[in-house]
Amino acid sequence: MGKLVVLTLLGASLALIGERLLTFRERVTASREIQSIEPQNCHLIEGLENGSEDIDILPSGLAFISTGLKYPGMPNFAPDKPGRIFLMDLNEQNPKAQALEISGGFDKKSLNPHGISTFIDKDNTVYLYVVNHPHMGSTVEIFKFEEQQRSLIYLKTIKHELLKSVNDIVVLGPEKFYATRDHYFTSYFLVLLELIMDFHWTYILFYSPREVKVVAQGFSSANGITASLNQKYVYVADVTAKNIHIMEKHDNWNLTQVKVIHLGTLVDNLTIDPATGDILAGCHPNPMKLLNYNPEDPPGSEVLRIQDALSDKPRVSTLYANNGSVLQASTVASVYHRKMLIGTVFHKALYCEL
């Protein structure tokens, strides 16, 4: 009798996993192909060869780019090199990428940068916050930017038991930020199981020196995060659910959901067009090619613009789409004065004039 129960439970479990596998393939748009939409004035950025996972552009036109991310299950073309932070001045006629030196006692070999966010203090001092994965853990590193020297000064490392599997960050005050947790588990096998079973156990965290708390939860895989120009709303990409959550920010830093925008593609990082307030989303149109990387049939790239996000009928348009022949596995797009930078998980980066 006991063996029969075990076999029955095993059969039911296998059937459930099989059904979830089929659902997972549909959820991540396993067979989707895209039609190329590419601005005429685009070129790959020299020196950015090993990813450009996140990009944040200051109002002055200086762009910070995180490179060299080593992420479980993702390809990496320079596994023995630490990550770096690059800078581009988009005011220049032909902007170049320059690696920033880091001083202040930071262990540069431990830099494995993921999401980034800048904050400008009242005295115009620029701070760069970097989600870091040293030894595959999760910390937030705070640097001060020295514009004249084109360098970063390490200030401190933030650690907390809730800062696990951190993906992205948006800073809204001195040491006050929201961060996304993209996976509940940390082991690669359990992460795959989590994705297949679609547990919806990930969340958004608020951090300050006085308080650390979960402010929104129930996401399949909370990923990119940014704030509206007036900072009244926070936008969160739920990557495997293929949507963006519009969240209202309250005085106590809690978030409540206003609406969800479904996009039909896996949404990674989000930025805001400073001229219009539109949301720009870096997306993965065929993620199975990303998970099963084949250089002969690489994953494509896609950038969407979402206008009137708070209205009853947001308008979604495609700014860039490529089948991987030029740019593979796009994660982010950021704009400044009709100039656009597009970053990737592990591949190159693109500069376009719109």
User: Is residue 116 part of an annotated ligand binding site?
Assistant: yes
In three-state secondary structure terms, 79 is coil
User: Is residue 223 part of an annotated ligand binding site?
Assistant: yes
Output the CA torsion sign for 26, 196, 130, 216: positive
Catalytic residue among 114, 133, 183, 347: 114
User: Is residue 312 part of an annotated ligand binding site?
Assistant: no
User: Is residue 54 part of an annotated ligand binding site?
Assistant: yes
Listing DSSP states for 282-308 in one string gives EEES-HHHHHT--TTS---EEEEEEES
In Å, how far from its chain's centre is CA 7?
A: 42
Q: Which strands, in side-by-side order, build the sheet including 212-219?
A: 166-173, 176-181, 202-207, 212-219
For 293-299, which contacts have Cβ atoms below 8 Å and span 24 or more sequence positions?
293/75, 297/324, 298/324, 298/325, 298/328, 298/329, 298/347, 299/324, 299/328, 299/329
Strands 151-158 and 101-103: parallel
135 annotated active-site: no
User: Is residue 167 part of an annotated ligand binding site?
Assistant: yes
Q: Are 258 and 248 in contact (CB under 8 A)?
A: yes
- Binding-site residues for Ca(2+) sit at 53-54, 116, 167-168, 223, 268-269
- Binding-site residues sit at 53-54, 116, 167-168, 223, 268-269
- What positions carry a catalytic annotation? 114
